[in-house]
Chain A
């Protein structure tokens, strides 16, 4: 039962992303945060950001490294929890 449900949901996820993957025209796929930044400068051309980040990743590669680190830290904890809990449950059942 749960397997079926999981499968249905994964299929739904895939369907959700199908139009994105099949998009033919060259889209920018830029970040929405950046688009909002552009709009702000459009609405208020005189606005000057009054503070800038104390540190910025020196390049796009390093930024993606740090983003993957963030995801990896999270995934590690989740994986540990599930592995530990599952083994503990099996132990109890035996």
Chain B
């Protein structure tokens, strides 16, 4: 989902920065508030950031014959909401842009928008809806993380399509081309990300259920099966 350095026309690069900066700024405010008001959530915050670090470093092969990577932002979105997660994603994307020439500084705004904002928002909304539907913690986490991951890659396809419409078919034909690369490749990876995120949330619920309750991820400890 990394749009390479310089591969968005300046106009679009600027546009995605304008879209992303307010969210990240709001996330920073929220992050400060959270650390001050609930300092005991700090360790889980570190884990959510670390999880995105690990997962976005793993480039996995997909059935389509190309490699892509999960985003790891589902965990943060479920625990802390999309705004704070956008800050975590920004850290990851900056690391990759500076040290790996993966993504870039000019395309940072666009990449933050897909991985740090749209993906986490989708994961957050799906998780809330699943919680209401009462389908259980693990299935809810799975669906939220998988759909959030996938939404990130659909967003990248849209971003490239609007910047590079084809001469004949326009934006829509272009979207089909990029979606074939990103969205289709991502399906098995999104499922994998859903599974891994569900596993880690399950484990967190075993060792630190208090933090999950405080963040209102879990309603009461009775709702969690204890082993």
Give the interface of A toward B (CB within 8 A). Answer: 1-3, 5-6, 9, 12-13, 16-17, 19-20, 23, 27-33, 35-37, 39-40, 43-44, 47, 49-57, 63, 66-68, 70-71, 73-78, 81-82, 84-86, 89
Q: Which residues of A contact B104 (CB under 8 A)?
A: 51, 53
| Residue B134 CB within 8 A of the other chain | no
- In the complex, the answer to whether A81 meets B160 with C-beta atoms within 8 Å is no
In which size bucket is the chain B interface?
A: 35 or more
**A86–B202 alpha-carbon span in the complex (Å):** 14
Q: How far is the CB of A44 from chain B (nearest CB, A)?
A: 5
Give the interface of B toward A (CB within 8 A). Answer: 1-7, 9-10, 43-44, 46-47, 49-63, 65-68, 95-102, 104-106, 138, 156, 160, 164-167, 174, 177-178, 181-182, 185, 188, 191-192, 195-196, 198-200, 202-203, 206-208, 225, 227
**A35–B176 alpha-carbon span in the complex (Å):** 14
Q: Which DSSP category, helix, strand, loop or mixed, fits chain A's interface? A: helix
- In the complex, the answer to whether B58 meets A71 with C-beta atoms within 8 Å is yes
- In the complex, the answer to whether B195 meets A32 with C-beta atoms within 8 Å is no
**A32–B164 alpha-carbon span in the complex (Å):** 17
- In the complex, the answer to whether B181 meets A68 with C-beta atoms within 8 Å is no
Q: Which residues of B contact A2 (CB under 8 A)?
A: 202, 206, 225, 227
Chain B residue nearest to A90 in the complex (CB) = B207
Q: Which residues of B contact A53 (CB under 8 A)?
A: 5, 97, 101, 104
Chain A residue nearest to B160 in the complex (CB) = A36
- In the complex, the answer to whether B53 meets A55 with C-beta atoms within 8 Å is no
- In the complex, the answer to whether B5 meets A35 with C-beta atoms within 8 Å is no
Pick from A30, A32, A35, A49: contact of B7, CB under 8 Å = A49
- In the complex, the answer to whether A36 meets B182 with C-beta atoms within 8 Å is yes
Given contacts A2-B206, A51-B6, A52-B5, 7 further A-B contacts (CB under 8 A): A27-B65, A28-B65, A47-B164, A66-B99, A78-B47, A85-B207, A89-B207
- In the complex, the answer to whether A32 meets B181 with C-beta atoms within 8 Å is yes
**A30–B66 alpha-carbon span in the complex (Å):** 5
Q: How far is the CB of B170 from chain A (nearest CB, A)?
A: 11
Pick from A31, A33, A57, A78: contact of B51, CB under 8 Å = A78
Q: Which residues of B contact A73 (CB under 8 A)?
A: 50, 53
Q: Which residues of B contact A13 (CB under 8 A)?
A: 192, 195-196
Q: Which residues of B contact A68 (CB under 8 A)?
A: 57
**A81–B5 alpha-carbon span in the complex (Å):** 35
Q: Which residues of A contact B95 (CB under 8 A)?
A: 70
Q: Which residues of B contact A81 (CB under 8 A)?
A: 43-44, 46-47, 50
